[in-house]
């Protein structure tokens, strides 16, 4: 009781200044957690990786190894260090159909070689899953949800989608892309083109990604056309995304399609397949 009385006498002497101090302290107490959560980064990067059955197990292993080796590479480490802030936030998830989106490595702050290599090690030893269907749209929407959970304030926000086929389930891919653009998020593409067009595959997948999947400031694609290109393509793509640069045209190597891609081709293929 004595302590309370002492505080009462001090308050009466200092008047409004004590009340102001207490109000400020209380406000700081409640605001501090949210302020601390707003870590600044050069880019918040979502790595969205296709694990649909159209991907052979060898392709999936090459794809995983490509991301692991890229995150270990000096080129990626240097790109992070050259940023205005010098750190990035990254998360990695696997996707297939609308029901299959699984975070493999959660949001991680990478501020140099050690944290990048730790992320690569966490990724390397996780089991690679497989699942049915291909919903690029759901992958983009899930990436947008993850952006809201990042806990960082990013100068740029990027969803990096890799895959070997067109959208054939869930929302329209162009609608998901447009939702990302509306939120200020760039969607880049890594179309994997190792097989001849056949079962649920399409010709000119790179054109499909350009016309139907990617969008936002500086959006680009880097196709993978042979197994030996995986590591170089992913490393180059990550460096460009971290640095906020657009690749030179020769790097994109866009196939010369006769007409713009049909953004509903995957849905049409699936419908045709199920007629017979």
Q: What is the mean pLDDT of the chain?
A: 82
Checking if the pLDDT of 195 tops 80, the result is no
Distance of alpha carbon 124 from alpha carbon 128, whole angstroms: 9
Comparing 22-36, 57-71, 134-148, the range with the smallest average pLDDT is 22-36
Checking if the pLDDT of 85 tops 90, the result is yes
Beta bridge partners of 154: 41
- What is the DSSP pairing of strand 88-95 with strand 101-110? antiparallel
Q: Regarding predicted confidence, which is higher, 203 or 199? A: 203
Query: Hey, where are the domains in the chain?
Result: 38-273
Model confidence over 33-50: pLDDT tens digits? 433 447 999 999 999 999
The pLDDT assigned to 119 comes to 98
Beta bridge partners of 102: 94
The pLDDT assigned to 246 comes to 73
The pLDDT assigned to 249 comes to 54
Q: How far is CA 166 from CA 105, 224, 265, in A?
A: 25, 15, 7
Checking if the pLDDT of 256 tops 60, the result is no
In the predicted model, what is the mean pLDDT of residues 140-144? 98
- Reduced to 3 DSSP states, what percent helix, strand and coil does the chain have, rounded to the nearest 5? 50, 20, 30
Percent pLDDT > 70 in the chain is: 78
pLDDT tier for residue 199 given thresholds of 50, 70 and 90: low
Checking if the pLDDT of 142 tops 90, the result is yes
CATH assignment of 38-273, among 2.40.50.140, 3.40.50.300, 3.40.50.410, 1.10.260.40 = 3.40.50.410
Spatial CB neighbours of 226, under 8 Å, sequence gap ≥ 6: 194
């Amino acid at each position: 009781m004595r302590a309370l009385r002492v505080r009462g006498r001090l308050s009466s002497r200092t008047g409004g200044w004590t009340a102001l101090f207490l109000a400020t302290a209380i406000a700081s107490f409640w605001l501090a957690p949210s302020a601390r959560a707003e870590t600044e980064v050069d880019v918040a990067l979502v790595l969205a990786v296709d694990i649909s059955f159209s991907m052979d197990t060898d392709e999936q292993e090459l794809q995983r190894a490509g991301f692991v080796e890229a995150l270990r590479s000096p080129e990626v480490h240097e790109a992070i260090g050259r940023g205005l802030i010098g750190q990035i936030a990254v998360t990695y998830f696997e996707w297939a159909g609308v029901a299959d989106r699984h975070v493999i490595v959660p949001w991680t702050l990478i501020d140099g070689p050690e944290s990048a290599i730790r992320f690569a090690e966490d990724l390397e030893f996780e089991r690679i899953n497989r699942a049915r269907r291909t919903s690029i749209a759901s992958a983009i929407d899930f990436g947008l949800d993850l952006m809201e959970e990042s806990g960082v304030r990013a100068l740029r926000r990027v969803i990096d989608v890799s895959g070997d086929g067109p959208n054939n389930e869930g929302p329209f891919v162009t609608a998901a892309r447009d939702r990302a653009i509306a939120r200020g998020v760039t969607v880049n593409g890594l179309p994997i083109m190792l097989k001849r067009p056949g079962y649920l595959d399409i010709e000119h997948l790179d054109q499909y990604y350009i016309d139907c999947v990617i969008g936002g400031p500086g959006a680009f694609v880097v196709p993978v056309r042979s197994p030996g290109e995986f590591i170089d393509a992913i490393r180059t793509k990550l460096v460009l995304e971290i640095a906020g640069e657009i690749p030179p045209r020769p790097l994109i190597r866009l196939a010369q399609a006769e007409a713009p891609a049909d953004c509903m081709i995957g849905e049409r293929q699936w419908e045709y397949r199920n007629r017979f």
